[in-house]
Amino acid sequence: MTTPESSLLGKPTAYPDAYDPALLYPIPRAPKRHELGIDGALPFTGCDVWNAYELGWLDARGKPKVALGEFRVPADSPNIIESKSFKLYLNSHAQERYDGPDALRARLVEDLSAAAGAPVSVVVVPTTVSGHGQVEGLSGDTIDDLPVAIDHYGPPRPDFLRADGGEVVEETLVSHLLKSNCPVTGQPDWASLQLRYHGPKIDRAGLLRYLVSFRGHSDFHEQCVERIFTDLMRQCRPQRLSVYARYTRRGGLDINPFRSSSGETQPGNPRTVRQ
């Protein structure tokens, strides 16, 4: 397997006009988890929720059909799927004939599960479904307006995170200031983050400084969320923790990694105003 940097992923690419599952580019999760000290059992459960807004195919008579796609890749799968390859793969169905959405879904499940190395959930949502994808706000206390002076924008600084060892709380915190960079193209990735925890009260100013310290950091969405989860567990020691990032879409796709210490594997899929 070539490295992402030496592949075609970050270079101009002709869009395929024929179905091709070989376009999918899996990337092993293990090396980045090793950097975080995760080499055995995972300290979290969860999944990566993908939403596709450019899903199309031809029906049996050759008439174009369109839909929305929701994909859930389990966090314990061996691989992530690089997003540009995912986009190219989805577009390779645009001129392919299917008897119906169920036939398309079956092929998507087969190909994506093979790339991820674990069963991937696929839902093909007709554009006629009323109410699907309505904009919602992330619940929780927003920390972005804190009067905090910030002068560090990378690399991530887990030492900014601290908790008061006295008061134990259960709260949900939200920030819309998470930004990192794609390790392949260098393009910015923007996200809103929801943090739910039970444990010693986390210092909000330190949390905000920590999140902003990702601005110059290069990692895939899934890897950034796992780093945030791991750093919070080590620095603040909550009894329960869930981290959910809702990234803005690129190329008709948004990626939303969710990690939890409480056994949750299937979060909701709230479309935020930035998505």
Kindly tell me if the per-residue pLDDT of 2 is higher than 70.
Answer: no
Per-residue pLDDT band for 10 (boundaries 50, 70, 90) equals low
The Cα–Cα gap between 264 and 239 comes to 14
In a domain, 157, yes or no: yes
Q: Is the pLDDT of residue 76 over 80?
A: yes
pLDDT at position 4 = 66
175 and 200 in one domain? yes
Q: Are residues 160 and 256 in the same domain?
A: yes
Going by C-alpha positions, the residue among 210, 216, 261, 221 that lies closest to residue 237 is: 261
Sheet-wide strand order for 188-202: 121-126, 64-74, 45-58, 253-260, 240-247, 188-202, 163-181, 141-142
Do 52 and 157 share a domain, yes or no?
no
User: Do 55 and 78 share a domain, yes or no?
Assistant: yes
Determine, yes or no, domain membership for 136: no
Last residue of some domain: 126, 154, 184? 126
Rounded distance, CA 221 to CA 244, Å? 11
Q: What does the block give as tokens for 131?
A: 């109410």
Residues with Cβ within 8 Å of residue 223, at least 6 apart in sequence: 32
Is 62 in the same domain as 146? Answer: no
Amino acid at 89: Y
In a domain, 87, yes or no: yes
Residue 83 annotated as binding?
yes
Site of tokens 């879904």: 105
Residue 185 lies in a domain: yes
> 170 Cβ partners below 8 Å, 6+ apart?
197, 198
- pLDDT of 8 strictly over 60: no
221 labeled part of a ligand binding site? yes
List, for residues 203-224, the tens digit of each pLDDT value: 999 999 999 999 999 999 999 9
pLDDT (tens digit, 9 = 90+) per residue, 218-263?
999 999 999 999 999 999 999 999 999 999 999 899 999 999 999 9
> Rounded to whole angstroms, what are the CA distances from 203 to 39, 225, 266?
29, 19, 28
pLDDT tens digits, one per residue of 138-155: 999 999 999 999 999 999
> Residue 10 annotated as binding?
no
What residues form DSSP beta bridges with 218?
A: 181
Is the pLDDT confidence value at 196 over 90?
yes
Measured between alpha carbons, how far is residue 150 from residues 147, 211, 228 in Å?
Answer: 10, 11, 18
Distance, CA of 185 to CA of 85 (rounded, Å): 13
For residue 217, being part of any structural domain is answered with yes
Q: Which residue among the candidates 182, 219, 231, 236 is catalytic per the annotation?
A: 182
Please give the tally of structural domains in the chain: 2
What percentage of the chain reaches a pLDDT higher than 70? 95
| Residue 266 within a domain | no
Q: Alpha-carbon distance 177 to 234, whole Å?
A: 22
The reply to whether 214 and 172 lie within a common domain is yes
Q: What is the token pair recorded at 268?
A: 């909701």
- So what's the pLDDT on residue 98? 97
Residues 146 and 240 in one domain: yes
- 209 among annotated binding-site residues: no
251 appears as a binding residue in the annotation: yes
pLDDT score, position 225: 98
The answer on pLDDT for 99 being more than 60 is: yes
Give me the pLDDT at residue 14, please. 74
Residue 234's SS3 state is helix
Predicted confidence at residue 7, as pLDDT, reads 63
Provide the pLDDT for residue 199.
97
Distance CA 107, CA 71 (A): 13
- Asked if the structure places residue 135 within a domain, the reply is no
Looking at 126, 156, 186, which one is the last position of a domain?
126
**Whether 88 and 149 share a structural domain:** no
Q: Let me know if 182 is a catalytic residue.
A: yes
Which residue in the list 48, 189, 231, 254 is annotated as catalytic? 189
Please tell me whether residues 79 and 154 are part of one structural domain: no
Distance CA 219, CA 245 (A): 14
Q: Are residues 109 and 17 in the same domain?
A: yes
Catalytic residue at 224?
no
Q: What is the pLDDT of residue 129?
A: 75
Mean pLDDT for 77-95 is 97
Domain presence at residue 272? no
| C-alpha closest to that of 47 among 197, 268, 265, 271 | 265
> For the domain that residue 101 is a member of, what is the CATH number?
3.30.1130.10
**Maximum distance among all Cα pairs of the chain, rounded to whole angstroms:** 67
Range of the domain at 224: 141-260
Tell me, what's the pLDDT at 9? 61
Q: Which of 126, 149, 166 is the last residue of a domain?
A: 126
Report the mean per-residue pLDDT for the chain.
94
Q: What is the pLDDT at residue 165?
A: 79
Of the pLDDT bands very low, low, confident and very high (cuts 50, 70, 90), residue 11 is low
Same-domain status, 83 and 120: yes
Confidence of residue 128 (pLDDT cuts 50, 70, 90): confident
- 120 and 190 fall within a common domain: no
**Residues paired with residue 168 on neighbouring β-strands, in sequence order:** 200
pLDDT above 80 (res 94): yes
pTM: 0.92
Q: From CA 193, how far away is CA 170, in angstroms rounded?
A: 17
Task: With beta carbons less than 8 A apart as the criterion, state whether 51 and 70 touch.
Answer: yes
At residue 135 the predicted structure's pLDDT band, cuts being 50, 70 and 90, is: confident
The token pair at 224 is 């950034």
Alpha-carbon distance of 264 to 241, in angstroms, equals: 10
82 assigned ligand-binding residue: yes
